[in-house]
Chain A
Amino acid sequence: MRCNRRALLYAGFFYAPLASADWQLNLIEGATEISRSVYSLHMVIFYICVAIAVVVFGVMFWSIFWHRKSRGAKAAHFHESTWIEILWTIIPVAILVSMAVPASTTLIQMYDKNNAELDIQITGYQWKWRYQYLDQDIDFFSNLTTPADQISNEAIKGDNYLLEVDRPMVIPAGKKVRFLITSNDVIHSWWVPALAVKKDAVPGFINEAWTLVDQPGIYRGQCAELCGKDHGFMPIVVEVKSAEDYQLWLQQQGALKLAQQQSAERDWSVEELMSRGEEVYKQSCLACHQAEGQGIPNVFPALAGSPLMNETVDEHIDVVLNGRSGTAMQAFAEQLSASDLAAVITYERGAWGNQGGAVSVQQIKEMLKE
């Protein structure tokens, strides 16, 4: 049965691209003034190149057609001409200058980062993005939500395959937003084509970029700098909202924070922790430690059967909260809420045959020393 289903799905994939046929040929105009001027710059250079190509290749194919031996062509004897050589040095220089002027104007425009109304700090992590709204106490991670079975071809791929996240960056329309981009580990690059913003996130250093989107909408992008195994799986989603909707969203964020605090206060049953833990595991741990906790030999340690998951509780919590120096294991204390931390640790200690026993939200809170 399963085999049949797989076969059917594979057949579907062959067809799928045709069904959603895009055949997009060109750059998009985008949603900002800058992206539109980049687009027109792109088109101008493209047309100039096409014009030069028509002339150059035209002469070439003219010669290939008319000056071939089989048509009885006799070779001429000229082999230099000072004036023509000077001419075809000067003309390209003139064309280049005419290209450089609009290019410089757009570039200078892009570098004007003043008068932003909102500052967002963007931090690249292997392999997710963190958005911190300065002065607003909003701080969250944005993870890929495409289910693993879609990636492994066991389910039909959704419309926004690999371009969907749990919590998108939300910005107001019509306001200048400044991005402060940095990284937690390796170099990433934050890129949203519709905004024409691409800036590297370099560990230890901060880069600036800005955007001003006029219309509400959802804009998607991806990490553009090779950053390790899951470089292809760290999308960016920017949701641009109208001023009112944005205010509403800000209020929701406050409520969300409150709910998180409350969920850390109440009592959680082991079953609740296990089921929540499975969700959190899929979101935050699966990429490295794999679906069955088996890890990747020589790269990421296995969790199934690990002594850490079965015996030493405090050390287990310590590694999850504070990470492990010198390895890819990140500190999750700031990434997850106390209840989520308790849930995922409980899950890891109870899944795949591990017999470590549950931990309570209280234990985590003590370790967090809140």
Chain B
Amino acid sequence: MGSVEHAVSETEQHGPAKGITRWLYTTNHKDIGTLYLLFSLLMFFVGGCMALTIRAELFQPGLQLIVPEFFNQMTTMHGLIMVFGAVMPAFVGLANWMIPMMVGAPDMALPRMNNWSFWILPFAFSMMLSTLFMAGGGPNFGWTFYAPLSTTYAPPSVTFFIFAVHMMGISSIMGAINVIATILNMRAPGMKLMDMPLFVWTWLITAFLLIAVMPVLAGVVTMMLMDIHFDTSFFNAAGGGDPVLFQHVFWFFGHPEVYIMILPAFGVVSEIIPTFARKRLFGYVSMVYATSSIAILSFIVWAHHMFTVGMPLAGELFFMFTTMLIAVPTGVKVFNWIATMFRGSMTFETPMLFALAFVVLFTIGGFSGLMLAIAPADFQYHDTYFVVAHFHYVLVPGSIFSIMAAAYYWLPKWTGHMYNETMGKLHFWLSFIGVNVTFFPMHFLGLAGMPRRIPDYALQFSDFNMVATFGAFLFGFSQLIFVYNLVCCIRSGEKATARVWEGSHGLEWTLPSPPPYHSFTEPPELDKNNTGQS
């Protein structure tokens, strides 16, 4: 008896293995979460360097630094790396760290698969980045890779790009399965779905979106592969195919993908604002319904990316109306956040600052999205810098700011140390100014008629391009403050308490900081204060 008990407690209490094997073989949700987050940080800088290359070339009219072929490779890779390498893995990393702790589970439901889904990513991205050094260069057809530019007219490296996308897809699908299994099967006894924190809710919905659309992306790249190598004609008009079909299938994936990148951000912000407003989240139930309806609507709006492709009038009208409809649940979310702040007792630590900037700037991105939804006006905006401004407003101060907010919010929990608040605030303000100086002028550029994805431009666009480039470098370099702050926080810093924040709520704050290697070995007691509705 005694020896059995001893063995059990040893397996449960063991710490991490030593050295590199800890990271290679780990099945621990915290280790894998850390790997995901660090990987996405690395990719954020790789993609960021590409963005700065683009902005440097666009600093002035004329070709100064790079040739148009390379410029196209940079825009393509920047998009692919930021979407699939930076934003998505960062959210999976947050899910890995936080979901088991938030639902009162010891670990993720499928730890071994968890390890696999992370370790696919470095290989996928090495393969993708290696295409830049291949004959004919890397992918140069934009992150939307429209056929036939990406099939008949693509550089030979397109095959490697396709396999890289397949690998990322498999990784995402496995990650999503894991999240769903954890949330549905591993919740602490007594925790109903409607007790879950909103971050868990938004991730559950995101995971279902991932399972629904990542296979469609895999399908579309497989069709490309067959068109390129096996003489099929999915997208080749000569053999009875249709290049426009590519766009339909791609955006059937692509639009839900946009929400995959923003729904977890909604979740993060819905955790942070109540904490620092010291007031319960307003309208929890309507938040859940709003998130679900955004997810469902995302399947019937895809062709608003294709208003200029030549659809029948009825199609244009249908997609215009459904797209406008998305503004309703999105509006509900914004109103709920503001109602949460209203008559709260607010303080403005770094995570709160990022969350507030998220609310304001994401809403601005939402407004430009609403303008883009109006089909006749979209004929003027489509494929201009107005679109670039729009999606950078929802992705940079949207998704990326929410990831930053989440990092500052949970860093004390993860590391057991407080980060440097002054440095955090400096990082926030420089990022905030940088983002707006970069992307706000792009609205003007687009309205004045500057198309996307051009390496050189007419003289009337010079002024705002110069401003945008200054902003981009400010934003880019201020991220180094974050890295420095992060390193300092991991190595030393003031000891963090278990609750960390005065207004914190939820199960993750009942664990010590840093939490034990296995989060909840005993199912936690639930009370009013540590469920999502607290």
Q: A–B direct touch, CB within 8 Å, in complex?
A: yes
Which residues in A have some Cβ–Cβ distance to B below 8 Å? 13-14, 16-18, 20-28, 37-38, 41-42, 45-46, 49, 52-53, 56-57, 59-60, 62-64, 67-70, 73-81, 84-85, 88-89, 92-93, 96, 99-100, 103-104, 106-108, 110-111, 150-153, 157, 159-163, 185-187, 189, 191, 193, 196-200, 202-205, 207-208, 221-233, 296, 298-299, 328
Q: Evaluate whether A160 and B376 lie within 8 angstroms (CB atoms) in the complex, with A25-B444, A200-B309, A224-B384 already known.
A: no
Return B307 CB to nearest CB of chain A, in Å.
9
Q: Which chain A residues lie closer than 8 Å to B466 at the CB level?
A: 17
Q: Select from chain B the residue with minimum beta-carbon distance to A59.
A: B338
A–B pairs, 30, beta carbons within 8 Å: A13-B60, A25-B448, A28-B448, A41-B377, A42-B371, A56-B335, A57-B360, A59-B342, A60-B359, A68-B347, A73-B343, A73-B346, A75-B343, A84-B339, A85-B286, A89-B331, A96-B324, A100-B320, A100-B324, A185-B148, A189-B382, A196-B376, A198-B308, A202-B309, A204-B237, A204-B238, A208-B310, A224-B382, A232-B455, A299-B155
Q: Which residue of A lies closest to B444 (CB)?
A: A25
Contact A203 B60 (CB under 8 A): no
Cross-interface CB contact of B332 among A88, A153, A186, cutoff 8 Å: A88
Q: Which residues of A contact B527 (CB under 8 A)?
A: none
Q: A157-B62, A203-B243, A233-B456 are in contact. Are A223 and B451 (CB under 8 A)?
A: yes
Q: Which of A99, A186, A202, A232 contacts B244 (CB 8 A)?
A: A202
Task: Name the A residues within 8 Å of B375 (CB-CB).
Answer: 103, 107
- Determine whether the beta carbon of B317 is less than 8 Å from that of A75: no
B301 within 8 A of A: no
Q: Is the interface of A mostly helix, strand, loop or mixed?
A: mixed
Contacts of A107 in B (CB 8 A): 313, 316-317, 320, 375-376
Contact A103 B332 (CB under 8 A): no
Q: Tell me, yes or no, whether B283 is within 8 Å of chain A by CB.
A: yes
Rounded to whole Å, the gap between the CB of A81 and the closest CB of chain B is 8
Docked-complex contact B345 and A74, CB < 8 angstroms: yes
In the bound complex, how far is the Cα of B463 from the Cα of A99, in angstroms? Answer: 33
Residue numbers in B under 8 Å from A230 (CB-CB): 68
| Most chain A Cβ neighbours within 10 Å, of B68, B278, B339, B380 | B380
Q: Does B449 contact A (CB under 8 A)?
A: yes
From 338 to 392 in chain B, residues with beta carbon under 8 angstroms from any chain A beta carbon are 338-348, 356, 359-360, 363-364, 367, 370-371, 374-377, 379-380, 382-384
10 new A-B contacts, CB < 8 A, other than A38-B380, A187-B146, are A14-B60, A38-B379, A57-B363, A68-B346, A104-B317, A186-B149, A196-B379, A198-B308, A198-B383, A226-B149
B462 in contact with A16 (CB, 8 Å)? yes
**Residue ranges of B at the interface with A (Cβ–Cβ < 8 Å):** 60-64, 68-69, 72, 135-137, 140-142, 146, 148-149, 152-153, 155, 237-238, 242-244, 277-286, 308-310, 313, 316-317, 320-321, 324-325, 327-328, 331-332, 334-335, 338-348, 356, 359-360, 363-364, 367, 370-371, 374-377, 379-380, 382-384, 444, 447-449, 451-464, 466
Residue of chain B at shortest CB distance from A153: B62
| Alpha-carbon distance A268/B383, docked complex (angstroms) | 46
Residues of B within 8 A of A207 (CB): 309-310
What's the minimum C-beta distance from A292 to chain B, rounded to whole angstroms?
Answer: 15
Name the contact of B63 in the complex, choosing from A99, A153, A221 (C-beta under 8 A): A153
Contact between chains at B62 and A152 (CB < 8 Å): yes
Please tell me which one of the listed residues A17, A28, A49, A228 contacts residue B370 in the complex, with CB atoms under 8 A apart: A49
A residues less than 8 Å from B451 (CB atoms)? 191, 222-224, 231-232
**How near does chain B come to A163, taking the closest CB pair, in angstroms?**
5
Contact B455 A110, beta carbon cutoff 8 Å:
no
Structural contact, A111 and B313, CB atoms closer than 8 A: yes
Rounded to whole Å, the gap between the CB of B220 and the closest CB of chain A is 16
CA distance A247 to B376 in the complex (A): 33
Asked if B380 contacts A200 (CB within 8 A), the reply is no
- Given A107-B313, A226-B72, answer yes or no on A67-B332 (Cβ-Cβ < 8 Å): no
From B321, B342, B461, contact of A63 by CB (8 A): B342
A100 to B335, CA, bound (A): 22
Return A90 CB to nearest CB of chain B, in Å: 9
What residues on A are CB-neighbors of B63 within 8 Å? 151-153
Residues of A within 8 A of B68 (CB): 229-233
A104 neighbours in B (Cβ, 8 Å): 317, 320
CB <8 Å contact, A88 and B377: no
In the complex, what's the smallest C-beta–C-beta distance from A231 to chain B, in angstroms?
6
* Chain A residue with Cβ nearest B384: A224
Q: Which residues of B have CB within 8 Å of A299?
A: 69, 136-137, 155
Contact A45–B377 (Cβ < 8 Å): yes
For the complex, what is the distance from the CA of A52 to the CA of B328, rounded to whole Å?
A: 13
Cβ contacts under 8 Å, A14 to chain B: 60
Contacts of A205 in B (CB 8 A): 237, 242-244, 310
- CB <8 Å contact, A151 and B456: yes
Contacts of A88 in B (CB 8 A): 331-332, 335
Q: In the complex, A281→B462 CA distance in Å?
A: 30
Do A231 and B456 touch across chains, with their CB atoms under 8 A apart?
Answer: no
Q: Which residues of A contact B320 (CB under 8 A)?
A: 100, 103-104, 107
A221 to B448, CA, bound (A): 11
Given A79-B284, A88-B332, also A296-B345 (CB < 8 A)? no
Least CB distance, A169 to chain B, in whole angstroms: 17
Residue contact A197 to B379, C-beta cutoff 8 Å: yes
Given A79-B280, A187-B148, A233-B456: A73 touches B345 (CB 8 Å cut-off): yes
